[in-house]
Chains A and B, each alone.
Chain A
Amino acid sequence: MKHKLFGVLRRIGLLVLVVWTVVSLVTLLIELVPGDPAVAVLGEQATPEQLAQFRAKHGLDRPAFFFGLPSDENGRRHLRWYGLNNRYKDYWVAILHGDLGRSFRTDQPVKDLILQRYPATIELAVVAMVIAVCIAIPLGVMAGKNRGTLIDNGLSVVALVGISLPSFVIGPMLVYVLAVKLGWLAPSGRFVWSDIILPAFTLGSALSAILTRMVRSSVIEEMGENYVRTARAKGLSERTVVYKHVLKNGLIPVVTVLGLQLGVLLAGAIITEKIFGWPGLGLLLVEDGIAKRDYSIVQGCVLAISTTYIIANTLTDLLYRWLDPRIRVS
């Protein structure tokens, strides 16, 4: 019991540490912008007053961190201590108050923009995951039960192809066939319920291939266990053996992968959302953030996506400990 609690606390400690680092990285990344961010946003023709006003408004006129290495008039760099009057501290204070700053372009609060888009991304990721699971379990079981046969080899190749085909190839091809040629679905947007089919399938296809491989090897491993022989000896049908006994044990590693993959789906959604004009966080990041050099939106989106990812991973880890007591020790 003590062991278990310690493990959980350690995991949460790590979570806090990692989130702190991620936030710090995101706040300091703006220092990487070549030249002056204000010029990058407002353009070369902006007057010095406009630039100064912009910098003051977004705190860009103040030091980025507690200390820095500014160069003096001779071009030499000296370590200088700025104290608490820095952007890093401000950013933290703001985040703890639920404030992610304002858009460099439209002046809207970044938090509102993110909250507007967040549900669409989660919806896309969850539906993609459901589709992937619905494809992977029957295929994986079929391959595992028929190990070494033509079915198994064929499914393995299909799975590898699925992993290798990037979403930005599958997506436009699906658009070509189902939207342009057949006219069954809309090529982009999020208006009617059927609009989610194409993006979710595109996003979930690689995952379904990975899961198929996992379910397959899980089924193969579990089929050799003693309890399977017992179940068969009891006269249970093969169907019951596989779906009631084997899958129950075989799905434990799959659950972990699902949790970890939720994060991968969130990152993959950036590309899928761009393909299908799906109005989620990814589209916000790419079109409003990166393309328009609205760095505060970029910061907010990166923060939102990675925090969701980290929390999902931690929850998976805790869930996995709970499902499989053997790991608690290690």
Chain B
Amino acid sequence: MSRLGIIGIVIVAIFVLVALFAPWIATHPVGDTDLMTRYIGPSAAHWFGTDSTGRDIFSRVVFGARISLEVGIIVVSVSVVIGTIIGSLAGYYGGWLDRFLSGYLFNVFLAFPGLLLAIAVVAFLGAGLNKLIFALCVIGWVGYARLIRAQVLKVREYDFVQAAHALGAGDLRIMAVHILPNAIQPLIVQASLGMAGAVLSEASLSFLGLGVPPPAPSWGVMIEEARDLSTLQAAPHALIFPGLAIALTVLAFNFIGDGLREYLDPRQRRR
């Protein structure tokens, strides 16, 4: 795998460990405000400094990793499962079902600019972690469905699938045993790019005030709280560290996605 891909895996591994062991890594309780220690720059006592209410930014960034990765993992898993089921139904059975699913339903979901549909759903449902996850799944599945449909269309024509048919295997068996394992490779690439997208969307919605409500230490919420002019002037680090955390996580998943794509596609590897 490419060097960047490995770097991506290392960064993600670090963030996963940080998220898992957050209570032991954080140096201060996340919610503790202390107006005597507002706007302190990075120091030995507060590694990333403190924000406008004196909360320790390092500890909040550490706990923020939990929210980001939790949302990312749930959203991508649910979207992959739903997308795989719907996509393989469309690709395998074809006919009117495919015309309805890929000709109409996919296009409707792709007709919304990604984030807008999520914003609309959360705007009406109300903010909250579960609603945010639901909204991101609503927009997330269709990309996987389209991908799997195209793969299934290709794989179902292969000789071994025809052979399985001839031997009398049922649809479910052909799908699960013969087609899907051979169709799933690009899905892995898409899923790691999807993790980047989900982390970014969670932060965006939280930034807009539609995600995890404050005082939860979501990176998006931290940036929203750090960007008013007085905080920006007194404590730019309150913006920089959560911003770096988002950028690093998203970058790492993008690295992994790009690396996997090259690794799985030998034609690109030779270039």
Contacts and interface: CB of A to CB of B under 8 A. Distances in A.
Nearest to A35: B126
Interface in A250-303: 263-264, 266-268, 270-271, 274-275, 285-286, 289-291, 295, 298, 302
Interface in A14-31: 14, 17-18, 21-22, 26, 29-30
Contacts of B255: 160
A86 B107 CA distance: 28
Nearest to A161: B251
B120 A172 contact: no
A305 B113 contact: yes
Contacts of B251: 160-161, 164
Contacts of A267: 113-116
Contact of B112 (A22, A163, A270): A22
B247 A161 contact: yes
Interface of A: 14, 17-18, 21-22, 26, 29-30, 32-34, 157, 160-161, 163-166, 168-169, 171-173, 175-176, 180, 187, 263-264, 266-268, 270-271, 274-275, 285-286, 289-291, 295, 298, 302, 305-306, 309-310, 313
B123 interface: yes
B178 to A, nearest CB: 28
Q: How large is the interface on B (under 10, 10 to 19, 20 to 34, 35 or more residues)?
A: 35 or more
Contacts of B104: 17
Main secondary structure of the interface of A (DSSP, over half): helix
Given A166-B203, A271-B207, A309-B112, A172 B125 contact: no
Nearest to B209: A291
A270 B115 contact: yes
Contacts of A157: 4
Interface stretch (B43-51, B61-69, B152-160, B227-235): B227-235
B116 A180 contact: no
19 contacts: A17-B104, A29-B120, A32-B124, A164-B247, A164-B250, A164-B251, A168-B203, A169-B223, A172-B227, A264-B113, A264-B114, A266-B116, A267-B116, A268-B115, A270-B116, A302-B120, A305-B116, A306-B112, A306-B116
